[in-house]
Structure 1
Amino acid sequence: MPPTIRDDAVWVTWERQTRNRSASDYFNVPLYEVIEEGPGRASRYIRSTLRTIAIVGKQKPRYFFAQNPSIVLAVLAITLKPWRKFKVIIDAHNAGIHGPENGSRFLPRINRFVIRKADAVIVTNPELAEFITSCGGTPIILPDPLPNLERKMAPVECGGKKKIKAFCITSWSEDEPYREILEAASAFTDEVEFFFSGNHKKIRSLRTNTIPSNVHLLGFIDENAFHDHLFSADFCIDMTKRSDCMVCGAYESISAEKPVILSDTPVQRRYFSKGAVFSQNTAQDIKHAIDQMVNGLEPMRQDAVDLKKEILERETSQRAILLSQIQQL
């Protein structure tokens, strides 16, 4: 039997995020999604803090997993550590390591404080692990476990004659080349329909009247609708300007057995060794990648199926090793 920490651990997040669900399930750790909504950020933080403290008081964990971001949750975990005598394991996304692109200089300093004080920091790749070590932290490398996705809705149709469907997984953040993807999409009006997820309205400079006719801005969609667009797509696109980031959409695409276009970085090229087309973050290169995907769609689909099988086998073989690392903290 592989080692287990289920009865001694809790995993807390202050948002709904696929990585937390798949990673906590991978370690067989109970997940607590503390979701507080309503106006007033300070009020939400206070309510989330009180609920988290109540979880700790009731469960009395030996291992406390916390997502960063939220940086407030991460600092709370570090603050509670000496009082509750648990080990703190921070699951750090890129913004929980370097800070957001448009954030203050103060946030990276807090992140480094959390990295030093945590017993371990979970990251997705060796490049981020090196950074954690340089900050005085202890890294554990865990690429996103493939999520167990389920399609619950009826198929989404593009309308009109059947075209290839591309699902663009976007959050409209500064690290995403969404303008370049939009420009590239305009070259495929007769072949491909592009569906963009995420709240595009936060980009005030985005003029929807200039959007190509084959581009559909979905806005914020719930989980069921997201999964349905994912499963009904012929391929996906998820790109980033961060050189050490492994995008969540890549894991979701492969889990749904869909080939995906990704930014050409060493960390992603190494992990997604098949079922992916890699591109620089320019409109011209993205256009070339889309053309390559469209012309090789059938073998790319099979590559995505094969990669999913390989990753699942790899995850199974590595689980006991990672659990042992945590138990030795």
Structure 2
Amino acid sequence: MLSNITIRHSDLMIVTNPFLKEFVDCMGGNGVVLPDKIPAFQAPLKKEKLQGEFNVFFICTFSDDEPFQEVLEAAKLMPSDWVIYVSGNYKKANIQPDRVPQNVVLLGFVEEDDYLLYLSSVDAVMVLTTLDYTLNCGAYEAVALNKPMVLSYKKTIINYFNKGAVYVEPVAQSIIEGIGSLFENFETFENEVKELKCELELSWNKQFSNIDSKISSFTDDSAGQLK
């Protein structure tokens, strides 16, 4: 967590979401929100030929806050041609490849080029956390390539990624229903995520410009005091 001394003695504290700004302000600081920028990916020229009728990339690190066991349970109950591709080192979670459902593909650690290839090739991206006040990097990456998303039902996530996504609880049935909603209404969600990308890019540029102006004003004030 941000240190009290740093907060109180900083002219400006840049944070990634409104909750952290509220925390900074309550501690006597001067907070301003600047979320991560939507990455500028260059989509691969080719796409990977995938197994399913509907393919989902579950971006995972197998950390404690990620409900990966619930995703595996959901896969057992989904149609067999809905295939989930899972990134991340599954060995650290003691997951045995021969014991996962047939419609789950464990990719392990994925190099950047292959990561972008899968991200570009799937129909949708799933990024889940049980933590509050968190914006997942994988969701930004999904938006960058116009991929509909399955995200966690968390206020911070819903407020920022407010279209082009379904929001699920960390239980198998909710995950199944979320993926099913994307499948049944895919074109709608695909159009929404394209709109979201444009909106987030415009918003970020405006926020960055405002922060840049504030920093310039601090610099000008300091220069004036030194004269």
What's 2:149 paired with?
260
The answer (yes or no) to whether the contact 1:167–1:195 under 8 Å persists in 2 is yes
Q: Shift of residue 167 of structure 1?
A: 0.5
How many pairs align? 217
Q: 1:235 to 1:323 in 2, by over 3 A?
A: same
The answer (yes or no) to whether the contact 1:165–1:193 under 8 Å persists in 2 is yes
1:143 to 27, 30, 35: 35
Instruction: Tell me which amino acid in the other structure corresponds to 2:44.
Output: K
What's 1:273 paired with?
162
Instruction: Tell me which amino acid in the other structure corresponds to 1:154.
Output: K
- Normalised to the residue count of structure 1, the TM-score between the two structures is 0.61
C-alpha distance in 2 between matches for 1:118 and 1:301: 45
Instruction: Tell me which amino acid in the other structure corresponds to 1:185.
Output: A
What's 1:310 paired with?
199
Q: Shift of residue 140 of structure 1?
A: 2.5
C-alpha distance in 1 between matches for 2:73 and 2:132: 22
What's 1:73 paired with?
none
Q: What does 1:92-107 correspond to in 2, within 5 Å?
A: 97=1
Matched position secondary structure for 2:189: helix
Q: What does 1:51-70 correspond to in 2, within 5 Å?
A: none
Structure 2: gaps spanning 5 or more residues? 219-227
The answer (yes or no) to whether the contact 2:43–2:145 under 8 Å persists in 1 is no
The answer (yes or no) to whether the contact 1:192–1:214 under 8 Å persists in 2 is yes
Matched position secondary structure for 2:3: helix
Q: 1:142 to 1:187 in 2, by over 3 A?
A: same
Matched position secondary structure for 2:41: coil
C-alpha distance in 2 between matches for 1:114 and 1:223: 38
Q: 1:118 to 1:282 in 2, by over 3 A?
A: farther
C-alpha distance in 1 between matches for 2:81 and 2:5: 48
Q: Relative CO higher for 1 or 2, CA cutoff 8 Å, sep ≥ 6?
A: 2
Structure 1: gaps spanning 5 or more residues? 1-96, 98-110
Q: Shift of residue 153 of structure 1?
A: 6.0
Percent identity, please: 31
Of residues 182-191 and 288-297 in structure 1, the stretch that sits farther from structure 2 once superposed is 182-191
Q: CA RMSD in A?
A: 2.0
What's 1:285 paired with?
174
Deviations 1:167-186 (Å, cap 9, x if unpaired)?
A: 11111111111111111122
Matched position secondary structure for 2:133: coil
1:225 aligns with 2:120: no
- Normalised to the residue count of structure 2, the TM-score between the two structures is 0.87
C-alpha distance in 2 between matches for 1:219 and 1:135: 42
